Amino acid sequence: MAVGGGIVPGSGGKRYEARVTPFVVIACVVAATGGLIFGYDIGISGGVTSMDEFLLKFFPAVYAKEKNTTGHDSQYCKFENHLLTLFTSSLYLAALIASFFASATTRKFGRKISMTVGGVIFLIGAVLNGAAMNVSMLIIGRILLGVGIGYANQSVPVYLSEMAPPKLRGALNIGFQMAITIGILAASLVNYGTSKMRENGWRISLALAAVPALIMTIGVVFLPDTPNSLIERGQKENARAMLEKIRGTSEVDEEFADLVEASEVSRQVEQPLKTILERKYRPQLVITSLIPFFQQFTGINVIMFYAPVLFKTLGFGDDASLMSAVVTGMVNVLATFVSIFTVDKFGRRVLFLEGGIQMIICQIGVGALVASVFGVSGTGSFSKGTGNLALALICVYVAAFAWSWGPLGWLVPSEIHPLETRSAGQSINVSVNMFFTFIIGQLFLSMLCHLKFGLFFFFGGWVVTMTAFVYFFVPETKNVPIEEMNRVWKSHWFWGKYIPDDAVGLAHHNTTNNA
Ligand code: BGC
């Protein structure tokens, strides 16, 4: 043991006793449904904003412009319109702001309360949207949905990471991403159905958001709070009992002592958002801020928000476009399974790096294809063969995202923080994610119009950058107990120098250091 309670990095992590109890699995499945409400919203608005009845009622000017496309002959610019994209992306701004309030709630009242708040506010938003008689109802509803999502996305990943035994943390946490992808797919199927209705199709699409919100809100009532959160709120005995219950053994002394000690450190922290700026949290701060930024700059939401529009731009018919959105939605769900089964075995880095390379290849492929058919002028159309090839490449790209940056974008930031900065870290993650989701949502149609086929190379360039970043700066975190993460940073070639020696001593609480 090094002087000062420090330990030599890499001197071997510990293994807590833990069985995978049905109780913990069910708790995690219920919590993950929080991802459903997020996914449903990502998937629903693109379809709704292409419905004539909806446009006529709320955005008549847009409708007129779309029916009477004068000025722009270029395929690339057919759908450029800021008002409409604002409808899609405003929700993400609301979520951004809400995630900071959620951080305080999550810390003071527990993860469970935050999830409940998220579910209920989202529910009200869904009802307002479904019943919307004017633009204000639509927008207020949209904002409430965003607030709900801010709360859910802040608390659910933290909840999952804390409940899970270390060796299954990745898989259980990815339940959140799984729920997101199922939500997106459900939304594209609903849109496919309601677009065929003569009246009120949009209303049904928007109102059905209440279904995942109900599942989540009711499910959460039956969830226990995490031991970490109970300790954080001074309920040590309950926390110990809960830990025994979720680990399925009474041999939890070591893990419990670590949780208590982490909580004591955390209690001394008055302002987590200020604390996280301290030098010793630099690796977490940088990674927590960059991962969500990079996740959005993979360009995934170009596909998730605008698949129907994108496929129309590429010359697919109306029905084929909506169908293609369903196809990419299915690939997204199925490929997420790959990450669930591999993330704790092969680790986060392998998935990040492989997924990145696969995305780059597809982006270059699609860009080249679009360039060869539409060129710079943007006139022309895909033959059936090239259209299908583009669709296939897009599916391979979506698959790569779905087993790399999709799930890992939520998993990694939720598991790299010590307790004292975990909530704050997660709200930075959520707000950066929401901010850039907003930016992409807002700018994509203009970017397509101005960058043309270069758009695909633009995102490809970002994926090259983020893949290199992961290679050099993101250490492997699989199987590392969440309260022992500092050991990983301490032994990293670059981040090691930011971690004071005593920060890794936490793992060795049985060292006599009660001065
Ligand atoms: C991202 C979303 C994206 C979704 C696609 C999530 O991890 O945060 O922005 O739409 O994955 O499955």
From ligand 1's centre to the CA of 424, what distance in Å?
21
From ligand 1's centre to the CA of 79, what distance in Å?
23
Nearest alpha-carbon partner for 433 in 398, 405, 395, 461: 405
Q: Whose CA is nearest to atom 7 of ligand 1?
A: 406
Q: What is the pLDDT of residue 1?
A: 30
Q: What is the pLDDT of residue 6?
A: 31
Query: Distance between CA atoms of 268 and 419, rounded to whole angstroms?
Result: 11
CB neighbour list of residue 512: distance below 8 Å, 6 or more residues apart: none
From ligand 1's centre to the CA of 136, what distance in Å?
27
Query: Distance between CA atoms of 131 and 137, rounded to whole angstroms?
Result: 8
Q: What is the pLDDT of residue 7?
A: 32
Q: Ligand 1 within 6 A of 441 CB?
A: no
Q: What is the pLDDT of residue 166?
A: 77
Q: Ligand 1 within 6 A of 437 CB?
A: yes
Q: Ligand 1 within 6 A of 409 CB?
A: yes
Q: Assign 3-class secondary structure to 184-224.
A: HHHHHHHHHHHCCCCCCHHHHHHHCCHHHHHHHHHHHHCCC
- Name the DSSP letter for residue 52: H
Q: Probe ligand 1: pick from 36, 173, 300, 332, max atoms within 8 Å of CB?
A: 300
Q: What is the pLDDT of residue 338?
A: 95
Torsion from C-alpha of 418, 419, 421, 424, nearest 10 degrees: 130
From ligand 1's centre to the CA of 406, what distance in Å?
6
From ligand 1's centre to the CA of 328, what distance in Å?
13
Nearest alpha-carbon partner for 391 in 307, 487, 508: 307
How confident is the prediction along the chain (515 residues), in pLDDT tens digits per residue?
A: 333 323 333 334 566 777 778 878 887 887 788 889 999 999 898 788 878 889 889 888 777 776 765 544 566 776 666 777 777 778 999 999 898 888 888 888 888 899 999 999 999 999 999 999 988 898 899 999 999 999 998 888 888 878 888 777 888 888 889 999 999 999 999 998 998 888 999 999 999 999 989 988 998 888 888 888 888 888 889 989 988 888 888 888 888 888 888 777 777 777 777 889 999 999 999 999 999 999 999 999 988 877 777 777 777 777 777 788 889 999 999 999 999 999 999 999 999 999 999 999 999 999 999 888 877 777 777 787 888 898 899 999 999 999 999 999 999 998 898 878 887 888 899 889 999 999 988 887 788 778 888 999 999 999 999 999 999 999 999 988 877 888 899 999 999 999 888 777 544 443 333 32
From ligand 1's centre to the CA of 401, what distance in Å?
9
CA of residue 230 relative to chain centroid, distance = 26
Ligand 1 atom closest to Cα of residue 332:
12
Query: Distance between CA atoms of 241 and 167, rounded to whole angstroms?
Result: 21
Q: What is the pLDDT of residue 69?
A: 53
> What is the tally of helices (H) and strands (E) in the chain?
23, 0
Q: What is the pLDDT of residue 74?
A: 64
Q: Ligand 1 within 6 A of 304 CB?
A: yes
